């Protein structure tokens, strides 16, 4: 009698889809779709509120800024993740969420527990980004948007490695450092575009919350290390008799 278990993996078959692992199957990553829908519903409510003249109230009580937190608006590190500064802002964040989220959602599992783990991971990265913003940003600058959480997903994806993306690359390995470099360059480009657009349109330099991006990215790289690997194809057969 033997109590050995034989692992059954679908990773090789899955990897033939677009040359990547099962994480590319975004349509199975339902938590990503849930968060995306919530973001757009909040944005719709934001537009309605602005139409009725509540724009200042939405920013004052929903955006993240140091004076607000110090005055007791403790919920703003969470609520700012679901507010956006316009159509382009939410479109870019939604596209990034749909591109990056499934890799982590698949890794954490397709069931209810996996969904909760993904949502918790997403929010934790966003809160880390909020903390970095509060620490590093000027006091008078408010922040809105899901960028901190999304950069957290990018940081986590940067660590994925191996067949089926089951393993994690070391923090200071070449693949991870290349992704870090890409994140830095993307921030520089976005900051430059924001400044150029603001000056050209006459509204002044548009601030980019690079501090939140930094905090979220670092959090994602670290938190993925302690999350469970729950790919649905990582299952085992019954013990052989």
* Per-residue pLDDT tens listing for the chain (241 residues): 444 444 444 444 444 333 444 445 556 689 999 999 999 999 999 999 999 999 999 999 999 999 899 899 999 999 999 999 889 899 999 999 999 999 899 899 888 999 999 999 999 999 999 999 999 988 778 899 999 999 999 999 999 987 667 889 999 999 999 999 999 998 888 888 777 766 766 655 567 889 999 999 999 999 999 999 887 666 543 344 4
CA distance 189 to 44: 28
Q: Give me the pLDDT at residue 17, please.
A: 39
Q: Give me the pLDDT at residue 94, please.
A: 95
CA distance 147 to 210: 9
DSSP 131: H
Q: Give me the pLDDT at residue 18, please.
A: 37
CA distance 42 to 2: 55
Residue showing tokens 């802002």: 89
Q: Give me the pLDDT at residue 205, please.
A: 58
Q: Which two tokens stand for residue 29?
A: 């990553």
Q: Give me the pLDDT at residue 5, please.
A: 44
Q: Give me the pLDDT at residue 113, please.
A: 94
**CB-CB contact of 223 with 121 (8 Å):** yes
Q: Which two tokens stand for residue 27?
A: 């349509």
Domains and CATH numbers, the chain: 28-230 (1.20.1540.10)
Q: Give me the pLDDT at residue 203, please.
A: 57
Tell me how far apart the 2 most distant CA atoms of the chain are, in Å.
79
Residue 209: which residues within 8 A CB-CB, separation 6 or more? Answer: 129, 133, 137, 143, 145, 147, 148
**CB-CB contact of 80 with 144 (8 Å):** yes
CA distance 153 to 134: 20
DSSP 71: T
Q: Which two tokens stand for residue 154?
A: 């990018």
Q: Give me the pLDDT at residue 201, please.
A: 64
Task: Quickly count: other Cβ atoms within 10 Å of residue 120's Cβ.
Answer: 13
Residue showing tokens 């199957």: 25
pTM to 2 decimals?
0.84
């Amino acid at each position: 009698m033997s109590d050995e278990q034989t692992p059954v993996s679908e990773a090789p078959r899955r990897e033939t889809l677009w040359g990547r692992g099962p994480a590319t199957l975004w349509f199975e990553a339902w938590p990503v779709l849930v968060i995306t829908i919530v973001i757009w519903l909040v944005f719709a409510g934001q537009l309605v509120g602005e139409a009725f003249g509540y724009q200042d109230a939405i920013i004052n009580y929903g955006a993240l800024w140091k004076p607000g937190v110090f005055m007791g608006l403790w919920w703003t590190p969470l609520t700012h993740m679901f507010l956006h500064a316009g159509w382009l802002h939410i479109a870019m964040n939604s596209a990034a969420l749909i591109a990056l989220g499934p890799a982590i959602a698949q890794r954490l599992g397709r069931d209810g527990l996996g969904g909760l783990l993904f949502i918790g991971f997403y929010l934790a990265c966003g809160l880390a980004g909020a903390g970095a913003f509060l620490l590093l940003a000027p006091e008078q600058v408010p922040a809105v948007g899901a960028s901190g959480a999304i950069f957290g997903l990018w940081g986590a994806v940067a660590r994925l490695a191996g067949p089926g993306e089951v393993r994690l690359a070391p923090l200071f390995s070449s693949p991870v450092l290349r992704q870090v470099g890409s994140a830095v360059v993307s921030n520089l480009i976005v900051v430059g575009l924001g400044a150029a657009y603001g000056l050209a349109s006459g509204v002044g330099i548009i601030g980019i919350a690079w501090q939140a991006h930094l905090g979220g990215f670092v959090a994602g790289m670290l938190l993925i290390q302690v999350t469970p690997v729950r790919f649905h194809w990582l299952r085992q057969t019954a013990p052989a008799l």
